[in-house]
Each structure stands twice: as structure tokens, then as C-alpha cells.
Amino acid sequence: MSGSASSDACLEARHLVKDFRLRSGVKARTLHAVKEVSFTLEPGRTVALVGESGSGKSTIARMMAKLEAPTSGDVLLDGVPSATRGGALARYRRDVQMVFQDPFGSLNPFHTILHHLERPIRIHHPGLSSREVGHRAHELLERVQLTPSSRFAERRPHELSGGQRQRVAIARALAPGARFIVADEPVSMLDVSIRLGVLNLLADLQRQEHLGVLYITHDLATARHFSDEILVMYRGEIVERGPSDRVILDPRHEYTRTLLEAAADPDRLGLLRDEVRNGG
């Protein structure tokens, strides 16, 4: 480990900007996908980033995971601007990992589950013996509740359900020893009845490992219950931020209200029908 003081351990986005050049024929225009976004992830805390498609949420996730370079602005790990290449970038990736939305696309169908977990361990901890690597991989499987691990280790992704695959993806993200996890819609492709299970697992691991989590979603209900702080994004900007209960129960920004209004709420049963019936 780099030995930085744990008190100021954090992952910070500072004035992140991302512009995309769009071309259509000879004309080109600039799309400002992310405009001056700043926030801080701390160990043991979850920050939710909510907004509609196209609001720039995923672009932020990709910049945090170093899959995309910001046009301007910085990503700071423990107060130090993060590297963009070489060994320093590899070390950054050991600390910051990503869980993708699609568990069907993020695992290689050619490799076994064990391989998916052993490889990041080998890359980030080259000193370990094969036995230690195997042992760690099995331990990870147990930790994401794929038990007994021997039953899952030699299988390939297509033999697992969506929920199980997403658990493997989480284990894979933890494998290098990550301290921060960027989870981009980690449950939206899963069946409804297993979503909470996967979120609960993520929350449990977060408490045990003291992880900092950036939870990206369009689902306000899970954002509220899963995270400590909510950032609401609209057209590349954070229009509202605050403690989750405050943002959901007492929204200040007009767009947050629109989003909340649009979320299904069974407690309002029949209201919409009465509203349109009375000429809404």
C-alpha cells in the first residue's frame, strides 16, 4: 500500500469537464457531456449519482475509472492528481475499480469464473504464489456468497444467472484490493426480485471493507436507501446534492421534483386515474 494517512483517504473529482466532438458530414459541433462536476468519495460512504440517460452519469463513471480522459479537471486519489499512464495508472486501478451494468457483457465467455478473479490478483500482486492466488480467488467467491466456491470456480459465465454473474463482477472488482468502487447501474439489468439481494451484498461488503462507493442509477428509491448522499445530474451538471433522505423527501431543485414526480409510487394508487378523469 502507498502508506498515505487513512484520515485523508478519498477519491475526489475536481471540476471535471468532458466535451465530445460530434461530426455529421463536414459539420462538427461540441457536446458538453459533463460540465464542471466536483464531488468526493470517502471510505465507508456511498454517493449516488442519479439522472436520466444522457445526463452524463456514465461519462463520469468512465472518467473515474480512467476509461475516458477528462477534457479538463482532475481526479485526485488521496489528494494527489491521478496518473494517466504507466505503473502509476496501474496502481490507481488497484484502488479504484468499476462494476458495469451488463453482467452478460462484462465477463469473458471463454474463461472460467476462477480465471476472472485470479487474473486481477496476479496483475496487481505479482509476488503471490499460485496457491495464494487461488486461495484468494476462492475467498472472494465466498465473500460474494457464491458458496461453496468450488461449485462456481470452474464454471463459465454462461452457466450462471444474471445475479450470480453480477456477484462475480463485484468479486472481480474487489480482487485487486480496491478501496473505491464505481458501480454503473449494477442492478438495472437484473430481475426485480434479485436486485435487492445484490445491493444488500454490495452494502455489506462496503461496511466490512470500508469501501467508498459511487452508485450510479436512475432508480431514486434504491438511491435513497443505499446511499448516504445523492447527487442529481441534469444535462451534465449537478443540479442538487445533499443527504439522501433530504434530497428525496425535501427536494429543492425543480428537476429533482420532476424526477420524483415521475417515479412510480404505489402509495399514490388511483391518483393519476382520478387526476386525468378530472381533466388533468
Partner 1 sequence: MSLAPEPVLSARDVSIEYEVDPPVRAVRGASLTLHRGEILGLAGESGCGKTTLAYGLNRLLKAPALMTGGEVVFHDVSGRDVDVVGLDGEALRTYRWDKVSMVFQGSMNSLNPVMSVRRQLHDVFSTHRPGMRRGEREARSSELVQLVGVDPSRLSSFPHELSGGMRQRVMIAMALALDPQVMIMDEPTTALDVVVQRGIIREIMRLRERLGFAVIFITHDLPLLIEISDRIAIMLEGEIVEQGTAHDIYRTPQHPYTRRLLSSFPSLRGERGDFVRRGTTAQGGAA
Contact residues: partner 1, CB under 8 A: 46, 52-53, 191-193, 195-196, 199-200, 203-204, 207, 218, 220-222, 224-228, 248-249, 258-273, 276-277, 280
Q: In which residue are the cell numbers 487513512 written?
A: 6
Q: Which residue in 202, 252, 257 sits closest to 226, CA to CA? A: 202
Smallest distance, partner 1 to C-beta of residue 133, A = 31
What CA–CA distance (Å, rounded) separates 75 from 159? 38
3-class SS of residue 53: coil
DSSP type of residue 218? S
Nearer to partner 1, 137 or 259 (CB): 259
In the complex with partner 1, the residue whose CB is nearer, 86 or 280, is 280
59 and 34 in contact (C-beta within 8 Å)? yes
In the bound state with partner 1, the residue whose beta carbon lies nearer, of 73 and 162, is: 162
Q: With H, G, I as helix, E, B as strand and everything else as coil, classify residue 128.
A: coil
Least spacing, CB of residue 149 vs partner 1, in Å:
21
Residue 163: count of CB within 10 angstroms of its CB: 17
Give the nearer residue to partner 1 in terms of CB position, either 175 or 199: 199
Least separation, in Å, of the C-beta of 25 and partner 1? Answer: 15
Minimum CB separation of residue 230 from partner 1 in Å reads 12
**CA–CA distances in Å: residue 23 to residues 27, 59, 120, 183, 192:** 6, 19, 37, 30, 39
Q: Which is nearer to partner 1, 45 or 115 (CB)?
A: 45
Cell numbers describing residue 169: 463482477
Helix H or strand E segment including 113: helix 113-124
DSSP string for 173-193: HHTT--SEEEEESTTTTS-HH
Residue 49 Cβ, how far from partner 1 at the closest point, in Å? 15
C-alpha cell at 141: 467467491
CA atoms of 49 and 71, how far apart (whole Å): 20
Smallest gap from residue 46 Cβ to partner 1 (A): 8
Task: Specify the residue, 38 or 188, whose C-beta has the smaller distance to partner 1.
Answer: 188
Give the residue from 162, 132, 16 showing the smallest Cα distance to 82.
16
Instruction: State in angstroms the smallest separation of the CB of 248 from partner 1.
Output: 7
Nearest partner of 272 among 259, 260, 261, judged by Cα: 261
Least Å distance between CB 118 and partner 1?
30
Nearer to partner 1, 82 or 206 (CB): 206
**CB nearer partner 1, residue 29 or residue 207:** 207
